[in-house]
Amino acid sequence: MFEVLVFVYENYWRGDACPELEQLGRKLSAHGFEAEEINEALVWLDGLNLAAQNTQLTPDLSPHPAVGRAQASTSMRVYSVAEQDHLGAQCLGFVSFLESAGVLPAPMREIVIDRAMAASGAPVSLDDLKIIVLMVYWSFGEEPDALVLDELWDDAEFRLPH
């Protein structure tokens, strides 16, 4: 499924540029993706579209006041046992890192967690979580900051320790 999501991200720069799911399915099939993989990705994308449509962000990516109360800076997100098991320590640490860096506001974090929980396989790999984060930004028509984008695309396997 994640290969399909990467293809969609690379070929449709913004979520609103992406064709309807039925047409997208035909295009993915024409590009040689397996029917089961396409179906799983389309169901996942439908959930992402629904979550993004029901969440409004202001231009600075903070929660829109009309959508309810913003999360207080002293709030703490407590992850359920199911979330901890499905995401694993490495992914939860990465989400925490993005939040503390100020690039993943609470509403987007919740969509990332929701979409990660909807992904098959447990625990979700860090590389797959990075794709999910990119897709959440994509669904809002936002591009992450250059440093964040670098962190999301960076392959730690090839880093040299200093």
- pLDDT digit string (tens) for 92-123? 999 999 998 889 999 999 999 999 999 987 78
Long-range contacts of 129-134 (CB under 8 A, 24+ apart): 129/87, 129/91, 129/94, 129/95, 130/94, 131/2, 131/5, 131/6, 131/9, 133/98, 133/104, 134/9
Mean per-residue pLDDT for 128-155?
Answer: 81
pLDDT given for residue 69 in this prediction: 47
pLDDT given for residue 122 in this prediction: 75
* pLDDT single digits (tens) 69-95: 455 656 788 999 999 999 999 999 999
pLDDT given for residue 132 in this prediction: 94
pLDDT given for residue 30 in this prediction: 94
User: What are the structural domain ranges in the chain?
Assistant: 2-158
pLDDT given for residue 67 in this prediction: 44
Is there a contact between 92 and 84 (Cβ–Cβ < 8 Å)? yes
* pLDDT single digits (tens) 14-72: 667 788 889 999 999 999 999 999 999 999 999 999 998 888 665 555 544 444 445 56
Q: Is residue 159 exposed (0-12), middle (13-18) or buried (19+ Cβ within 10 Å)?
A: exposed
Task: Report the greatest alpha carbon distance in the chain.
Answer: 49
Q: Is residue 106 exposed (0-12), middle (13-18) or buried (19+ Cβ within 10 Å)?
A: middle
Mapping DSSP to helix (H, G, I), strand (E, B) and coil, where does residue 56 land?
coil
pLDDT given for residue 17 in this prediction: 75
Q: Which of 37, 151, 35, 45 is nearest to 104 (CA)?
A: 151
Read off the pLDDT band of 153 (50, 70, 90). Answer: low
